Structures are given as structure tokens and as C-alpha cells.
Chains A and B, each alone.
Chain A
């Protein structure tokens, strides 16, 4: 177990190093200068800009802003400020082509319209899950929001207090939504002159955490097992040794997910266009897994996989 933690620790370091600004596993999504890493779909007036280091939306009904990268399980935190009758929102796990159909909006709303009940106020999963603990909705001041997407559980906190807890499986319409997708900010949904500002937008990608991913192999819901397998494959050769260790365990379900993930990682590393470093890392990790003297069937599988990397 200590070895596993050590591997995990190293991989977190690697992720942090790659992303630059990081704090407790959090990575900034906004560079404070421009919209690198973000995209606005063509067809509508661009509604977002970085002004004095702040992300700002003023154009009413303009184009919404989406991350280029996709995320499944994560903790997103940011600060927001709404103008007097501001209206915006955060779109999670969505396809930018149909964000409200495929994903969910966490509402950001000034308390000004008739639609300000607990199902539609700041912190609600707009129209699906109401807040149980209404946040401070004062406009013109900065608030802090944290959204945690943890497989079937979505939690929202405002200013350090949890406002909303949703089990996606308990709400039929939510259960049919995507389990991963891009993150979006809604353009000014109020009238001309209103605005919303954002800063300190940071994410901790839970699917980059080896322990979190491995725990997903035992989820009773098939969709989360598949998601965890895909996350493991995305982590690449660094997962080979931990996966081989899972194959030595007693849990049939986890073993079976690990087996497929191992195959997919080695298959990707064996691709003609794969980088030599990835191929070498995979080959090294397979040797390391064999060095741990696993059972006959695991050893047989691992050495068979290593044949895919021979030139």
C-alpha cells in the first residue's frame, strides 16, 4: 500500500509540474491574459473576454465559453461577482453543441426574478435539484463557489457552505446526462449592461488521481467502471504497475477492469505513431510488474502484453 501511495504521490507531482500553477492538486484554468484553453462556438457574438486579469461576460445572449479539455470527475472552484441583476451559470459535464441537453447548469443568479426559488437560485442544479441550504446571493461582491463531480454525486458549495447535494441516479433526467464533458460558463443571461465576472478558476481532476481511478473499478454502476477504465488508460504507462497489482486481488470486478485497462494502455503505447518514451515507459513498467513475482495467470498476461511492444 505504501508503494502505491508513493507511486500516486510521484504522479501528482508530475501532473503539477506539467501544469505549472497548482495548489493542493488544483490547477488554474485561466492564465489571466487570454482565453487559451477555452473556446466559444461560432455563430453568436463572442461574449467573454479577459479584462484586467478577470474573466468577464457582458454581451447578452452571446456565445458561451467552454473548456477545450473534457473532465469527468473533478473539483472546480472559482470566485464570481454578479452585477445588480446578473445571471450566468456553470455548465458541467456537457457537450458544447448541446450543453443544456447533455449537461447540467449550476445556476449563478441575482435574486431578482420570479424564478428565484430554491430550484432555480444560485447553487441549484438548475431545474433538477434544489438547494437545501440557500447561499448568500448579495450582488456586487465576490463569492466563492466549489462544484464537486464525484461519479454519481454532485455537490455545490458557496462561500464554504454546502448548498446542494445531488445523486444523479435519483433524478431520472440527470441520470441520462453525460458523465464527462467540457466545463462551460454561460454568457450574460440578463439584459444589456449587466455582467458577470470570474477569477481564480481552478480544477482538481479526480480522474488524474490513481487511487480515485482504481476505486472506480469497483463501482456497482457499469458506467462509472467504464469511466474509471478510460481514466486509467488516459493515465498511461504510470498505471501499469498499480493495475497489475489489482489483478492480484480477490475482487473479480476490479480485476476484470484492470485487465482491459492494461491491454488498452499497452495497445496505445504500441501504436506506430506513439512516442518512443511512452513505449519505453510501458515496457519498463511491464518488466517492473513481472519483477513483483505475480501469480502465474497475471505473469502470463503481463508477459504476453509485453510482446506487443517488441519491435
Chain B
């Protein structure tokens, strides 16, 4: 722990030196300035992290961790193919990685129900964390993450890589400029929902998978393949479906643009699939009342121009015009005019050097990365409330200061979960 902090202190100094001095060519980064990275979870997103971090010149990938030894071996092989000098140690249990004093940064691409615990344990072990979305499985875990972050001084970036791209920055500039007038309503959507996955029998987990560790803090359940890799988000034990998968990607542009505050009610409607053991929304629509702003989420595109061709999107309704966007595109409609940009709106927001780069810069400067934890938590919170409203089939009245449902103990109960021992 001490050496971790010592190392971070060193990095902080280096960061200051980098900021002040001439630009050092990254390829020549001396060994002492290296950032030693370990990756926890090596599936799809974990694999992407491994590659993205390996591409950063000062990164030394020293350890990989997965509860699935097949995935672990494959990811180590791919890393070495890309970077023949890499000699990653491999682990099944992430706690062995956190015990290592020589590791500065961990990335986390586990299933959602592990996100908070890995980050909290990493913060406590003096590591900085690049964590996959959604931020946490439950709202209360997100609070605990932020408390631990503040206590330990760690750096955290949520892996919403679209945040770093130009389009969201430009949308935020246009919205904030007031060119569309006051924005009273925002509509967010993502097509599609959870499918039932049939009724497969339980079976013995493969010898190559540590199922107990995969389950971790989630309630015990017998193994069946659909509960695990690839479709775990279909289960409320581990996630919240397609909605939980995509909420923060598209809510991000709303929060970048308008920083909504004062959430007071959340009401969701929807259905669970009937064709299998999956229990997260087949479809979910939700209404969020922020102070002076109504936000609506739908599973099908809303009735606004162009939306039917976009599988995910955000639609801002201003007094003077509208803006409809997705990850890469935007359309502004003022009267009968349809525009891609408003050239009169100046470029004011600094662009990102890339989401992973931005994180490493913050690790060195000890500053706040672009998708920092307090920001990510505010953005994720409405998602938890919508899922809770969906499950309870009732409106939630929210105290945004105390962060509590008003007059609904069951809602508050569902916003947290007691972890299964010993994963606390």
C-alpha cells in the first residue's frame, strides 16, 4: 500500500515535469516513467483494454486476470503477439494482483456485479482504475466507490470511450451555447432488449471456470452457460439488460451538455421476457423529472425526425430548435432548416487526447479524468432508479440531496444489495 502511494507520488512529480518541460517523445519513455498496468477481466471489453493500453508507449502490461483460464491464456497470447516484449503474469483471483506493490493501474472489465468491488479494493490497495461501464451494479455501491475514491485519492475513469470523441463535445458546445434556446425535454433511446434465452438446465461449470469467483458478490446460482459469458446482462442478479449496457453511453451526451440536477421522480414501464430464464427488460420506457428538464428513455426510437434510422440516440428539444445525435452524427433542426453544425458556435471545450490517454494523463497529474467517478456516478444514478421502478412497477419519488427514495423502503432496499460472503 505504502509503496503504491509512493509510486503514485513519483508519478505525480513526473506529471508535473512533463507538463512544464519539453514534450518527451513517448517511444523513448525511460523505464522509471513507465505505468505498470494489470487487466482484470479479459473478455470482449477486457481484450479491447489490453490492446488499447498496450498501444500507449509508457504502459507496461504486467498482469492479466480472469476467472476463466481459457480466456486468460488466449488474452496473454494475443498480448504477446502484439507486443513480443510483454511478459504478463496471469491470475485467476484479482486479489493477488492487488497485493502486488509494483502495479500502478488496473483496468476492470468484469461482469457488472464485480465492477464496484474490484474498484474499491483497488483504490484501497493504492491503484488507479480504468473501469468498464456501467459504473456499478447498484446505486449504493456507486456511493461507496466515490467515498473510497475520496478517501484514498485514487484516479478513476469510466470506460465510456465515446465520451472522448469529437461529436459529443460539439453537441455539448451547441446545446450550451443556447442557440437552440432553453432545452426542456431530452429523449434517449436504444433499440432492442433482453431475449429470454430459453430454459436451459443447470450443469456443472467447466473445469476451466472458477464459477464461485465469477459469481462473487452476487447471490449463489447454479451454473448454466447463458448466465455467464456474453449474456450475463440478461439477469438482474448481475446487471440490468440492454438498458444497463447502453444507458451511460447515450446519457453521457445529456450529462455533458446539460449537467441535469435535482432529479425528483422516475417512472419506468416495460416487460420481462417470457421466453426464457432471463429477467431483465424485454423493453423499458422511463420518464425522469429533473429540475426544469424532462428526460424520456425508450426501447424503440421516439417519433422524431430521423430517429427511426438510428439504433441509439439522443434528441434535445429546445425552444428554438432541436438536435438529434448519436455517437458519430448530429442533425440540428431550426424551423425548416436541417444542419450538421452551427459554425457561429465557438469551439470552447478542450478535445480529448483519447479516453485511455486522458486517463493516463490524470494518473500522472493526479487530476480528474474526463469520465471521472463523481461525474460517472451522477450519470449512472438515474439508470439504477429506472431499473428499480421497472422492477417494482411504480413511480419512485427521489430526494436527490439525501439520495433516497421518499416513502418507499422497498425501493431503497433494491438500490443496494448485501454481498455474498466473503466478497465484501
Contact = CB atoms under 8 A, between A and B. Distances in A.
A252 B201 CA distance: 6
A267 B392 contact: yes
Interface string B264-302: 000000001011110100000000000000000000000
A310 B409 CA distance: 7
B220 interface: yes
A296 interface: yes
**Most chain A CB inside 10 Å of its own CB: which residue of B199, B410, B413:** B410
Interface residue SS majority, chain A: helix
B279 A271 contact: no
Contacts of A296: 220
B230 interface: no
B199 A225 contact: no
Contact of B413 (A260, A300, A310): A310
B272 A260 contact: yes
A223 B275 CA distance: 9
A95 to B, nearest CB: 18
Contacts of A259: 279
B5 interface: no
A263 B236 CA distance: 12
Chain A to chain B: the 9 pairs with minimum beta-carbon distance, closest first: A270-B410, A308-B410, A252-B199, A222-B274, A226-B274, A253-B199, A256-B277, A267-B392, A222-B275
Contacts of A301: 219
A252 B277 contact: yes
Contacts of A304: 219
5 contacts: A252-B200, A260-B272, A264-B393, A300-B220, A301-B219
A272 interface: yes
A183 B393 CA distance: 27
A42 B396 CA distance: 36
B394 interface: yes
Contacts of A85: none
B277 A308 contact: no
Interface in B390-416: 391-394, 407-410, 413-414
Contacts of A300: 219-220
A35 interface: no
A271 B393 CA distance: 9
Contacts of A234: none
A49 interface: no
A108 to B, nearest CB: 35
Nearest to A307: B413
Given A256-B276, A259-B279, A260-B272, A309 B199 contact: no
B274 A225 contact: yes
A267 B391 contact: yes
Nearest to B277: A256
Interface in A260-311: 260, 263-264, 267-268, 270-272, 296-297, 300-301, 304, 307-311
A297 B221 contact: yes
Nearest to B219: A300
Interface of A: 222-223, 225-226, 229, 252-253, 256, 259-260, 263-264, 267-268, 270-272, 296-297, 300-301, 304, 307-311
Contact of A309 (B200, B219, B276, B410): B410
Contacts of B277: 252, 256
A188 B263 CA distance: 55
B341 interface: no
A309 B412 CA distance: 11
A272 B408 CA distance: 6
A264 B391 CA distance: 8
Nearest to A221: B274
Contacts of A252: 199-202, 277
Contact of A268 (B196, B274, B393): B393
B222 interface: yes
A309 B410 CA distance: 6
A223 B274 contact: yes
Contacts of A311: 409
A297 B221 CA distance: 6
Contacts of B220: 296-297, 300
Contacts of B279: 256, 259-260
A297 B413 contact: no
A193 B358 CA distance: 86
Contacts of B219: 297, 300-301, 304
Interface string B320-359: 0000000000000000000000000000000000000000
Contacts of A263: 391
Contacts of A272: 407-408
Nearest to A253: B199
A309 B274 CA distance: 26
B71 to A, nearest CB: 26
A69 to B, nearest CB: 20
Interface in B215-229: 219-222
A256 B196 CA distance: 11
Contacts of A253: 199
Contact of A256 (B199, B392, B408, B413): B199
B303 to A, nearest CB: 23
A12 B88 CA distance: 67
A307 B393 CA distance: 17
